[in-house]
């Protein structure tokens, strides 16, 4: 294989690594923010669950207080029933007692419903709290991992950039300029592997004569379709 072409392949590999590392560095703030937002959502959801459980407890106590007051009132009504003097008063008093008893039963039913819901919520809350701790630990670990990875990636970038400068010096200037023009037009991919008489970048068939020459000689060829410089790993 043409030595310049071999060096170009190495150069492109380095530049692809640089691009990949740079993207990882650039994506890190958004990645960390995503983890932080997810952590905040989990904590907020748990806070809402706790608040709902506290609200149920508050409602239960309020209803129990109302029932206690209604029982006191009912007791007084029953005491007063013995002192009424007319049938009309007696009937009215019985109706009021009946209404009070129905109200107490209704409130007690509500208390039972709340107690059942509280029991379920307490079980859910225990499970949710354990899940929150586990997920929070994972997310916090990912945040630390992402943040601490940046310096090492920046060091790797600096090393790769030095390698790129060294490799550029190993490529003939006109070929390097040609490589740069193609890379700029083709999203950083100036070289394409030729395999089975196809350009693996654009998937267009390579002329048989060109493909044969590519395998047998050190001549440099380009894809007729995408203009990328062709190379074959068969002759690496």
Taking only the tens place, the pLDDT of each residue in 158-208 is 999 999 999 999 999 999 999 999 999 999 999 999 999 999 999 999 999
Query: Residue 171 in 3-state DSSP?
Result: coil
The set of residues, in sequence order, having a beta carbon less than 8 Å from that of 173 and lying 6+ positions away, is none
Q: Encode burial over 150-159: b for 16+ CB neighbours within 10 A, e otherwise.
A: eeeeeeebee
CA distances from 98 to 68, 109, 127, 193 (A): 16, 17, 44, 92
In the chain, CATH 1.10.287.1490 covers: 3-149
Q: Are 201 and 38 in contact (CB under 8 A)?
A: no
Closest CA to 222 of 171, 185, 174, 179: 179
Six-digit token pair at 117?
Answer: 């819901």
The predicted pLDDT at position 236 comes to 61
Closest CA to 192 of 223, 234, 225: 223
The predicted pLDDT at position 130 comes to 87
If you classify domain 3-149 with CATH, what class do you get? mainly alpha
Instruction: Render pLDDT for 95-152 as a digit per residue (tens, 0 to 9).
Output: 989 999 999 999 999 999 999 888 888 878 888 888 889 999 999 999 999 999 999 9
Distance of alpha carbon 227 from alpha carbon 138, whole angstroms: 47
Give the 3-state secondary structure percentages of the chain, helix then strand then coil, rounded to 5: 80, 5, 15
Residues in the chain: 236
Segment 74-82 shows an average pLDDT of 87
């Amino acid at each position: 294989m043409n030595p310049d072409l071999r060096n170009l392949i190495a150069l492109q590999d380095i530049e692809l690594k640089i691009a990949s590392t740079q993207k990882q560095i650039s994506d890190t703030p958004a990645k960390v923010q995503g983890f932080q937002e997810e952590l905040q959502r989990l904590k907020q959801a748990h806070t809402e669950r706790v608040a709902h459980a506290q609200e149920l407890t508050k409602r239960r106590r309020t209803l129990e207080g109302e029932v206690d007051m209604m029982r006191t009132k009912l007791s007084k009504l029953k005491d007063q029933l013995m002192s009424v003097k007319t049938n009309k008063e007696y009937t009215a008093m019985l109706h009021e007692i009946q209404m009070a008893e129905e109200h107490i039963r209704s409130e007690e039913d509500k208390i039972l419903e709340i107690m059942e819901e509280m029991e379920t919520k307490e079980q859910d809350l225990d499970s949710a709290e354990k899940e929150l701790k586990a997920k929070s630990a994972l997310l916090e670990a990912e945040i630390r991992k992402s943040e601490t990875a940046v310096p090492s990636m920046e060091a790797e970038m600096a090393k790769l950039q030095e390698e790129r400068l060294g490799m550029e010096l190993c490529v003939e200037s006109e070929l390097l300029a040609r490589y740069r023009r193609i890379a700029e037009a083709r999203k950083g991919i100036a070289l394409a592997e030729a395999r089975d008489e196809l350009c693996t970048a654009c998937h267009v068939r390579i002329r048989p004569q060109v493909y044969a020459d590519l395998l047998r000689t050190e001549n440099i060829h380009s894809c007729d379709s995408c203009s990328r410089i062709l190379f074959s790993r068969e002759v690496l």
